[in-house]
Amino acid sequence: MKTRILMTLITLLCAAMASVQSARAVTIMVTNTNDSGPGSLRDGIGNANDGDTIDATGVSGTILLTSGELQILTDGVTINGPGAGMLAVNGNGTSRVFENFALGYITISGFTITNGRSDGGGGIRNSAPHPNIGGYGLTVTNCTISGNAADYGGGILGALTISNSTISGNSAMYGGGICNLGGGVRISNSTISGNLADVDGGGVYNSGTLGEFVFSIIENSTISGNSATGNGGGIYNSSNGLGQIRGLALSSNILNAGASGGTIFNVGRVASVGYNLASDAGGGVLTGPGDQINTEPMLGPLRDNGGPTFTHELLAGSPAIDAGHPNFTPPPLYDQRGPDFWRVRNGRVDVGSFEAQTGTRPPRPRPTPHPRPSPP
């Protein structure tokens, strides 16, 4: 009983603190593309307090970083750009673009993150301790992360959630696109394309060697044309060490092999939830319901197919069309491209991040009616 009362008090205290933080939160406007100084993105991030929103939606062009990376130190900050095709943050080939140190939940949305260079995480590095068991304290959504380089994680290094984004043309020794060495990465409704690893994991490198929690999820995403000189052109998954909760779960993804390394290389634990499609044998791990292996997905090139980020179109006759989980229901309501690109057509979801838009779309959800009170 005492424990229950204590937990209730803690819950009420956390709710009260969150309410106070929300009441104090403000929106900081970014008004120019300068590297620093009043109205700059750097100045906004540096002046933010817990829970603030940094609004760069009114700015377009390129923010060229000449004073080093942008460091996020404040909990609960949301950083909004106008869209990946409108505003780029460029690391100038000399520094990482974003690094997060904050313990709370951080969101970065609506940017192109490019030309970053570092030892780890050329575009983004999440250096915060894992704030929860999932390790997904940083969220990146509606972004393009392209043309970055590092030793580990050319595009991204660290635990985070990625949605409705494209990670393309990045390079590293390990994890050309994404490198996760602890915690977890959750990737959904996203495209990982044309990344390169000099050693392992062209698209995604998922590993833990010291017994730490490592569990990653990739779902409804397209992983295409990634290469590795060593192993795992698309995905390299390792679960070495003593940890008991570790591995990778795959659900409704397209895995299209690049020039080298194949789609999946696994020396750990992979669970196929099903309805994945691989152009090769998929590393022998795609044994779930509805999985297709040695099947050409029939993809168009990475390009503007509508929406804020580039995607691979499903060509007519693609075996990925209407081959996703038969019981899938939104959310998400849309595919990677966002509003007007419905996630389900013809009554069944497609595999990957792109939904072919032929056929009928589902009816819009209607609000539940509520009886009106009778007048006194």
**Which mean pLDDT values do the consecutive 10-residue runs of the chain (376 residues) have?**
40 45 79 98 97 98 98 96 98 98 93 98 89 68 98 96 98 97 91 98 85 80 98 89 68 98 94 97 98 98 97 98 95 95 95 91 54 42
What are residue 114's DSSP bridge partners? 90, 146
Please answer whether residues 361 and 345 qualify as being in contact, where contact means their C-beta atoms are separated by less than 8 angstroms. Answer: yes
Examine residue 210 and state whether it is found in any structural domain, yes or no.
yes
List, in order, residues 6 or more apart from 4 with CB less than 8 Å away.
none
290 in Cβ contact with 266 (< 8 Å):
no
Q: Is residue 132 part of a domain?
A: no
Same domain, 110 and 159: no
Q: Report CA torsion sign: 109, 115, 121, 127.
A: negative
Q: Given this model, what pLDDT does residue 224 score?
A: 98
Q: Are residues 66 and 168 in the same domain?
A: no
DSSP 8-state symbol, 15:
H
- The answer, yes or no, to whether the previous bond of 367 is cis (omega within 30 of 0) is no
Report pTM.
0.88
Q: Can you give the pLDDT at residue 5? A: 42
Kindly state whether residue 128 falls inside one of the protein's structural domains. Answer: no
Side chain identity at 138, as an amino acid letter? L
Residue 333 in contact with residue 342, Cβ under 8 Å?
yes
Q: Is residue 130 included in any domain, yes or no?
A: no
- The residue segments making up the domain with residue 217 are 141-363
Domain count, the chain: 2
* Residues 192 and 102 placed together within one structural domain of the fold: no
For residue 93, give the amino acid letter: G
Residues 135, 129: contact at Cβ < 8 Å? no
Q: Are residues 93 and 59 in the same domain?
A: yes
| End residue of a domain, out of 115, 131, 157 | 115
Same domain, 96 and 208: no
**Tokens at residue 326, please?**
């038969």
Asked whether residue 243 falls in the same domain as residue 293, the answer is: yes
Same domain, 149 and 274: yes
* Count of C-beta atoms within a 10 Å radius of residue 283: 22
pLDDT of residue 204: 98
Same-domain pairing of 315 and 200? yes
* Final residue belonging to a domain, choices 115, 132, 156: 115
What totals of helices (H) and strands (E) does the chain contain, helices first? 2, 35
Does residue 70 belong to any structural domain of this protein?
yes
195 in a structural domain? yes
Same domain membership, residue 87 and residue 38: yes
291, 272 in Cβ contact below 8 A? Answer: yes
Domain boundary among 115, 149, 177: 115
Regarding whether 333 and 284 lie in a shared domain, the answer is: yes
10 Å Cβ neighbour count for 267?
14
Strands 124-126 and 149-152, bridge-based pairing? unpaired
Instruction: Name every residue whose Cβ is closer than 8 Å to that of residue 16 and which is 6 or more positions away in sequence.
Output: none
Task: List Cα–Cα distances, 74 to 15, 37, 100, 329, in angstroms.
Answer: 19, 19, 9, 36
241 part of a folded domain: yes
3 state DSSP class of 325:
coil
* Residue 320 domain flag: yes
Residues 106 and 149 placed together within one structural domain of the fold = no
Q: How many whole angstroms separate alpha carbon 342 and alpha carbon 321?
A: 13
247 and 106 co-located in one domain: no
Q: For CA atoms 172, 246, 97, 107, give the dihedral sign.
A: positive
